[in-house]
Amino acid sequence: MAVRSSCDGSNPTALTVTTPDERRTLANEALRAAIAQYNAKLAAQREAESIGGRHYTEHVGDLASMVRDGQFDEAERRLLAICDLMEREQHRMGVAPWYYERLAIMYRKQKRRADEIAILERYFRQRRAGGAKVAKLAARLEKLKQ
């Protein structure tokens, strides 16, 4: 048996006796509330990272196909929206290079050199996720500027 003080303002010295079952119930309620709060936070984060009702990472297959098939206008619109989203949300790990690289590839196919340079420079102004792509994109940008 445990003793817990309760201060409701009317009688600050009142004591409430709690049983192990009451403590378990209180702990379960606190745990359920914490889980609900965490799930709400995850849902809000997922909504903030969504384009057209889908998380931005779920667009990768569609985008790769669009670029490969020459559907540049729609691919560019979605890729730029995703870049905007990543930059706005200031990702924990930094922005993902894939989306910027796809835009650069697409711009090269269309012989849009100024846009290719601009998107790579935009990428390097952001906090970036690490990996081999960073060096590859840096080399690509350096070559374009020569």
Write the pLDDT tens digit of every residue in 60-94: 899 989 888 889 999 999 999 999 988 887 766 78
pLDDT for 64 equals: 86
Q: Which of 99, 98, 91 is nearest to 126 (CA)?
A: 91
pLDDT for 131 equals: 80
Q: Which of 102, 103, 93 is nearest to 126 (CA)?
A: 93
Biggest CA-to-CA distance, the chain: 80
Q: What are phi and psi of 88, to 5 degrees?
A: -65, -40
Listed range (1-10, 32-41, 85-94, 125-134) with the worst mean pLDDT: 1-10
Mean pLDDT, the chain, rounded, equals: 83
What the chain holds in terms of domains, given with CATH numbers, is: 52-145 (1.25.40)
pLDDT for 12 equals: 56
pLDDT for 94 equals: 85
